[in-house]
Amino acid sequence: MRLGCSVFLSCLVMASPSTALSQEFTGRDHAYAVLLLSQSDTDVRTAARVLYKAGSRNQNTFDLLAEVTWTACSGNRAMDADTLSWLGKTLGNTAQSRYAGLLDYCLSTIKDEKTKKYMKQARDRIAGPPASNTFEGGKMDLGEMRARVAKQGDAVLRPSLADKFADLREGQEIRGYFGRPTRGALYLLMIGSPVAMVRSCGKLPRI
Protein backbone atom coordinates (compact mmCIF):
# COMPACT_ATOMS: atom_id res chain seq x y z
CA MET A 1 0.00 0.00 0.00
CA ARG A 2 1.33 3.42 -0.88
CA LEU A 3 2.15 5.83 1.94
CA GLY A 4 -0.51 8.33 0.89
CA CYS A 5 -3.19 5.71 1.21
CA SER A 6 -1.91 4.66 4.66
CA VAL A 7 -1.99 8.22 5.88
CA PHE A 8 -5.54 8.70 4.63
CA LEU A 9 -6.75 5.46 6.17
CA SER A 10 -5.21 6.42 9.49
CA CYS A 11 -7.57 9.39 9.57
CA LEU A 12 -10.52 7.02 9.52
CA VAL A 13 -9.78 5.53 12.94
CA MET A 14 -9.01 8.66 14.90
CA ALA A 15 -11.05 10.86 17.16
CA SER A 16 -14.27 12.46 16.03
CA PRO A 17 -16.39 14.85 18.02
CA SER A 18 -19.91 14.27 19.27
CA THR A 19 -22.92 16.49 19.77
CA ALA A 20 -25.31 17.62 22.46
CA LEU A 21 -27.55 14.78 21.27
CA SER A 22 -24.77 12.21 21.38
CA GLN A 23 -27.00 9.66 23.11
CA GLU A 24 -29.24 9.64 20.03
CA PHE A 25 -26.49 9.81 17.41
CA THR A 26 -24.40 6.72 16.63
CA GLY A 27 -22.49 5.50 13.60
CA ARG A 28 -23.56 7.18 10.38
CA ASP A 29 -25.95 9.53 12.15
CA HIS A 30 -23.08 10.77 14.29
CA ALA A 31 -21.11 11.48 11.12
CA TYR A 32 -24.09 13.37 9.70
CA ALA A 33 -24.29 15.45 12.88
CA VAL A 34 -20.59 16.33 12.79
CA LEU A 35 -20.93 17.64 9.25
CA LEU A 36 -24.25 19.42 9.81
CA LEU A 37 -22.78 21.27 12.79
CA SER A 38 -19.84 22.46 10.74
CA GLN A 39 -19.47 26.13 9.87
CA SER A 40 -18.47 25.04 6.36
CA ASP A 41 -21.21 25.07 3.73
CA THR A 42 -19.34 22.32 1.90
CA ASP A 43 -19.58 20.02 4.93
CA VAL A 44 -23.28 20.80 5.42
CA ARG A 45 -23.97 20.18 1.74
CA THR A 46 -22.14 16.84 1.89
CA ALA A 47 -24.35 15.66 4.75
CA ALA A 48 -27.51 16.88 3.02
CA ARG A 49 -26.67 15.15 -0.26
CA VAL A 50 -25.86 11.82 1.38
CA LEU A 51 -28.98 12.01 3.56
CA TYR A 52 -31.04 12.76 0.45
CA LYS A 53 -29.78 9.58 -1.17
CA ALA A 54 -29.34 7.25 1.82
CA GLY A 55 -31.84 8.57 4.38
CA SER A 56 -31.80 7.88 8.10
CA ARG A 57 -34.08 6.23 10.64
CA ASN A 58 -33.11 8.79 13.27
CA GLN A 59 -35.60 11.65 13.53
CA ASN A 60 -33.05 13.73 15.45
CA THR A 61 -30.78 13.74 12.39
CA PHE A 62 -33.46 15.34 10.23
CA ASP A 63 -34.41 17.75 13.01
CA LEU A 64 -30.79 18.89 13.18
CA LEU A 65 -30.77 19.34 9.39
CA ALA A 66 -34.02 21.29 9.71
CA GLU A 67 -32.51 23.55 12.36
CA VAL A 68 -29.54 24.32 10.12
CA THR A 69 -32.01 25.07 7.33
CA TRP A 70 -33.90 27.45 9.62
CA THR A 71 -30.71 29.33 10.54
CA ALA A 72 -30.18 30.08 6.85
CA CYS A 73 -33.80 30.92 6.00
CA SER A 74 -34.08 33.21 9.03
CA GLY A 75 -30.93 35.10 8.07
CA ASN A 76 -29.01 33.98 11.16
CA ARG A 77 -26.43 32.28 8.95
CA ALA A 78 -25.18 33.23 5.51
CA MET A 79 -25.29 30.16 3.28
CA ASP A 80 -24.64 29.59 -0.40
CA ALA A 81 -27.65 28.86 -2.57
CA ASP A 82 -26.57 25.35 -3.55
CA THR A 83 -26.24 24.21 0.07
CA LEU A 84 -29.59 25.66 1.08
CA SER A 85 -31.20 24.04 -1.96
CA TRP A 86 -29.87 20.62 -0.92
CA LEU A 87 -31.14 21.11 2.62
CA GLY A 88 -34.59 21.87 1.26
CA LYS A 89 -34.53 18.94 -1.15
CA THR A 90 -33.57 16.57 1.68
CA LEU A 91 -36.38 17.81 3.91
CA GLY A 92 -38.85 17.37 1.06
CA ASN A 93 -37.55 13.89 0.42
CA THR A 94 -38.60 12.83 3.93
CA ALA A 95 -42.25 13.47 2.92
CA GLN A 96 -42.87 14.37 6.56
CA SER A 97 -45.51 17.04 7.14
CA ARG A 98 -43.52 17.93 10.25
CA TYR A 99 -41.27 20.03 8.00
CA ALA A 100 -44.00 21.60 5.84
CA GLY A 101 -44.15 24.76 7.96
CA LEU A 102 -40.39 25.23 7.76
CA LEU A 103 -40.43 24.93 3.99
CA ASP A 104 -43.32 27.42 3.80
CA TYR A 105 -41.29 29.80 5.95
CA CYS A 106 -38.22 29.41 3.74
CA LEU A 107 -40.32 30.07 0.63
CA SER A 108 -41.47 33.34 2.20
CA THR A 109 -37.95 34.57 2.99
CA ILE A 110 -35.67 33.27 0.22
CA LYS A 111 -34.87 35.73 -2.56
CA ASP A 112 -32.77 33.53 -4.85
CA GLU A 113 -35.10 32.17 -7.52
CA LYS A 114 -33.21 28.92 -8.11
CA THR A 115 -33.21 28.09 -4.41
CA LYS A 116 -36.88 29.00 -4.17
CA LYS A 117 -37.61 26.61 -7.05
CA TYR A 118 -36.03 23.70 -5.17
CA MET A 119 -37.78 24.67 -1.95
CA LYS A 120 -41.14 24.69 -3.77
CA GLN A 121 -40.41 21.28 -5.27
CA ALA A 122 -39.56 20.04 -1.78
CA ARG A 123 -42.77 21.49 -0.34
CA ASP A 124 -44.82 19.90 -3.12
CA ARG A 125 -43.53 16.48 -2.05
CA ILE A 126 -45.16 16.96 1.33
CA ALA A 127 -48.92 16.59 1.02
CA GLY A 128 -51.30 18.72 3.03
CA PRO A 129 -50.83 21.33 5.76
CA PRO A 130 -48.15 21.28 8.47
CA ALA A 131 -48.52 18.52 11.07
CA SER A 132 -49.56 19.11 14.68
CA ASN A 133 -46.01 18.24 15.73
CA THR A 134 -44.55 20.76 13.29
CA PHE A 135 -40.86 21.53 13.55
CA GLU A 136 -40.07 24.85 15.21
CA GLY A 137 -36.78 26.45 14.30
CA GLY A 138 -34.60 28.30 16.76
CA LYS A 139 -35.06 25.80 19.58
CA MET A 140 -31.60 24.20 19.35
CA ASP A 141 -28.47 25.81 20.73
CA LEU A 142 -26.08 24.96 17.92
CA GLY A 143 -23.25 26.84 19.62
CA GLU A 144 -23.52 24.59 22.66
CA MET A 145 -23.69 21.54 20.43
CA ARG A 146 -20.48 22.59 18.67
CA ALA A 147 -18.80 23.07 22.04
CA ARG A 148 -19.73 19.52 22.98
CA VAL A 149 -18.31 18.37 19.65
CA ALA A 150 -14.96 19.82 20.66
CA LYS A 151 -15.02 18.25 24.14
CA GLN A 152 -16.33 14.76 23.66
CA GLY A 153 -13.79 13.30 21.26
CA ASP A 154 -14.01 9.87 19.66
CA ALA A 155 -16.35 7.95 21.98
CA VAL A 156 -18.95 7.41 19.25
CA LEU A 157 -17.13 7.03 15.94
CA ARG A 158 -14.06 4.97 16.79
CA PRO A 159 -15.96 1.73 17.65
CA SER A 160 -18.09 2.09 14.52
CA LEU A 161 -15.07 2.63 12.31
CA ALA A 162 -13.22 -0.28 13.90
CA ASP A 163 -16.11 -2.59 13.02
CA LYS A 164 -16.06 -1.40 9.41
CA PHE A 165 -12.38 -2.28 9.04
CA ALA A 166 -12.81 -5.80 10.44
CA ASP A 167 -12.75 -7.41 6.98
CA LEU A 168 -9.53 -5.80 5.72
CA ARG A 169 -7.15 -8.37 4.29
CA GLU A 170 -3.76 -9.04 5.84
CA GLY A 171 -1.25 -6.48 4.65
CA GLN A 172 -3.87 -3.73 4.36
CA GLU A 173 -2.59 -2.12 7.52
CA ILE A 174 -4.01 0.99 9.14
CA ARG A 175 -1.30 2.94 10.90
CA GLY A 176 -1.75 5.29 13.85
CA TYR A 177 -4.17 7.98 14.86
CA PHE A 178 -3.94 11.45 13.36
CA GLY A 179 -6.04 14.39 14.55
CA ARG A 180 -9.57 15.02 13.37
CA PRO A 181 -11.20 13.05 10.53
CA THR A 182 -11.33 14.49 7.06
CA ARG A 183 -14.68 15.15 5.37
CA GLY A 184 -13.81 12.27 3.08
CA ALA A 185 -13.37 9.96 6.07
CA LEU A 186 -16.80 10.89 7.37
CA TYR A 187 -18.25 10.38 3.90
CA LEU A 188 -16.79 6.87 3.80
CA LEU A 189 -18.32 6.10 7.17
CA MET A 190 -21.71 7.30 5.92
CA ILE A 191 -21.65 5.14 2.80
CA GLY A 192 -19.99 2.26 4.67
CA SER A 193 -17.23 1.57 2.13
CA PRO A 194 -13.78 1.74 3.75
CA VAL A 195 -12.58 -1.39 1.93
CA ALA A 196 -13.46 0.22 -1.39
CA MET A 197 -11.28 3.11 -0.31
CA VAL A 198 -8.40 0.72 0.36
CA ARG A 199 -8.73 -0.76 -3.11
CA SER A 200 -8.89 2.62 -4.81
CA CYS A 201 -6.01 3.83 -2.60
CA GLY A 202 -7.00 7.37 -1.95
CA LYS A 203 -9.48 8.14 -4.73
CA LEU A 204 -12.51 9.61 -2.97
CA PRO A 205 -15.78 9.08 -4.86
CA ARG A 206 -17.37 12.25 -6.21
CA ILE A 207 -20.27 13.41 -4.08
Query: Is pLDDT of 33 > 90?
Result: no
Give pTM, 2 decimals: 0.69
pLDDT greater than 60 at residue 54? yes
Tens of pLDDT, residues 59-71: 989 999 999 999 9
Q: What is the dihedral of CA 47, 39, 66, 159, to 10 degrees?
A: 50
Higher pLDDT, 10 or 57: 57
The predicted structure's pLDDT at residue 22: 41
Domain spans, the chain: 1-16+153-207, 25-149
Element (DSSP H or E) covering residue 88:
helix 81-94
pLDDT bracket for residue 127 (50, 70, 90): confident
**Phi-psi bin for 206: left (phi > 0), alpha (psi -120 to 50), beta?**
beta
- CA-CA distance, 15 to 18, in Å (whole number)? 10
Work out the percent of the chain whose per-residue pLDDT is above 70. Answer: 58
pLDDT for 136: 93
Mean pLDDT of the chain: 73
For 109-119, write each residue's pLDDT tens digit. Answer: 999 999 999 99
* Cβ 16 vs Cβ 155: under 8 Å: no
Name the residue with higher pLDDT: 92 or 157: 92
**DSSP letter string over 143-197?**
HHHHHHHHHHTTTTHHHHHHHHTTTPPTT-------SSPPHHHHHHHHHT-HHHH
